[in-house]
């Protein structure tokens, strides 16, 4: 599964994207955020307040309760500020 | 009765020409009574700002704006709807976003343009980072709660419901 990061989530994690293999038990977006947080300082800094993180699966907004099954690209980013 | 118009959505680094975009929707037609345009422009925040860096999520940015635009085209009897959003480094006074809504009557054009901007601000994947005049690269612009609240007035009409 491909993970992509934007704005300050990208800056704090220190990379634009990465390929990951989901460990067993990680089945929802919330599980994913929780697991990523344990992967190092950058992730911890980016995801310290997971409730503010917005998530898209394959270019569509999803809630944190959404299942990851079948997802090929998961994006994590802060609330949007375009327009 | 009008069929749904097919919206035009562009996400680009280059500037756009408002007059040309209005012409694109009106040229050769005699059934249009109203064209509403909205331009979002970079302001200098009382002289503090040198530029904004606009980051976007390629692919999703276009897809999300198109979802919102199609919803607007389904809600109001429009003859045309165009949305252009820029990314990259944008200086004060320069264009950021353009919405053009054309319709037989003005209310549909006003409402569709307003709806489009309300949802675009909270749903389209763009992020602004400020570059200060003194001190170089600055802060990410924080999302405003008022922007999220603005969606409430379109209640029951959300185009891009999260699953």
How is chain A split into domains, by residue range?
A: 2-77
Q: To the nearest 5 percent, what fractions of chain B are helix, strand and coil?
A: 35, 30, 35
Q: CATH classification of A2-77, choosing from 3.30.2320.30, 3.30.70.3270, 3.10.20.30, 3.30.70.260?
A: 3.10.20.30
**Contact status of B64 with chain A (Cβ, < 8 Å):** yes
Q: Whose CA is closest to B44, among B96, B97, B93, B98?
A: B93
Q: How far is A83 from chain B (nearest CA, A)?
A: 5
Q: Is 70 exceeded by the pLDDT of residue B119? A: yes
Q: Do B55 and A7 touch (CB under 8 A)?
A: yes
Residues of B in contact with A80 (CB under 8 A): 121-127, 143
Q: Given A8, A62, A77, which is nearest B125 (Cβ)?
A: A77
Q: Given A8, A66, A75, which is nearest B60 (Cβ)?
A: A75
* B8-154 placed in CATH 3.90.1170.40: yes
**Strand residue runs (E) in B57-148:** 80-86, 88-90, 95-103, 126-132, 136-140
pLDDT tens sequence across B39-85: 999 999 999 999 999 999 999 999 999 999 999 999 999 999 999 99
B113/B107 Cα distance (integer angstroms):
10
Q: What is the pLDDT of residue B150?
A: 87
Q: Whose CA is closest to B80, among B8, B1, B159?
A: B8
Q: Do A77 and B57 touch (CB under 8 A)?
A: yes
CA dihedral sign, ordered B19, B25, B28, B34: negative
Q: What is the pLDDT of residue B3?
A: 75
Place of tokens 């999803």: A62
How many CB atoms are closer than 10 A to CB B121?
22
Residues of B in contact with A82 (CB under 8 A): 54, 56, 85, 96-97, 120-121, 124-128
Q: How far is A77 from chain B (nearest CA, A)?
A: 8
**Contact status of A63 with chain B (Cβ, < 8 Å):** yes
Q: What is the pLDDT of residue B158?
A: 52
B69/B116 Cα distance (integer angstroms):
7
Note the helical H segments in A1-83: 7-13, 29-37, 41-46
Does residue B91 contact residue B16 with C-beta atoms inside 8 Å? no
pLDDT mean across residues, chain B: 93
Q: Do B140 and A8 touch (CB under 8 A)?
A: yes
pLDDT tens sequence across A20-73: 999 999 999 999 999 999 999 999 999 999 999 999 999 999 999 999 999 999
Taking a contact as any Cβ pair under 8 Å apart, which residues of chain B between 129 and 158 contact chain A?
A: 129, 140-143
Does residue B55 contact residue B126 with C-beta atoms inside 8 Å? yes
Q: What is the pLDDT of residue B162?
A: 45
Mean pLDDT on B19-31: 98
Regarding an ipTM greater than 0.90, the answer is yes
Place of tokens 């709660």: B145
pTM score, two decimals?
A: 0.93
Q: Given A7, A59, A79, which is nearest B59 (Cβ)?
A: A59
Q: What is the pLDDT of residue B137?
A: 72
């Amino acid at each position: 599964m491909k993970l992509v990061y934007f704005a300050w989530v990208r800056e704090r994690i220190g990379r634009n994207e990465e390929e990951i293999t989901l460990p067993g038990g990680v089945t929802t977006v919330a599980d994913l955020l929780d697991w990523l947080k344990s992967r190092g300082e950058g992730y911890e800094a980016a995801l310290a307040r997971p409730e503010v993180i917005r998530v898209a699966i394959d270019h569509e907004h999803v809630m944190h309760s959404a299942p990851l099954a079948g997802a090929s690209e998961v994006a994590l980013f802060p609330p949007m500020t375009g327009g | 009765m009008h069929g749904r118009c097919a919206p035009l959505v562009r996400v680009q680094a280059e500037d756009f020409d408002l007059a040309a975009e209005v012409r694109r929707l009106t040229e050769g037609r005699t059934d249009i009574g109203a064209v509403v345009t909205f331009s979002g422009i970079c302001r200098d925040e009382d002289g503090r700002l040198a530029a904004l860096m606009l980051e976007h999520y390629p692919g999703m940015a276009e897809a999300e704006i198109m979802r919102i635009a199609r919803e607007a085209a389904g809600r109001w009897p429009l003859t045309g709807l165009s949305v252009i959003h820029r990314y990259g480094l944008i200086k004060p006074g320069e264009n950021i976003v353009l919405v053009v809504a054309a319709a037989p009557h003005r209310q549909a054009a006003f409402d569709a343009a307003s709806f489009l901007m309300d949802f675009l601000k909270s749903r389209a994947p763009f992020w602004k980072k400020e570059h200060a005049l003194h001190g170089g690269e600055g802060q990410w612009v924080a999302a405003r709660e008022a922007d999220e609240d603005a969606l409430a007035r379109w209640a029951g009409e959300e185009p891009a419901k999260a699953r």
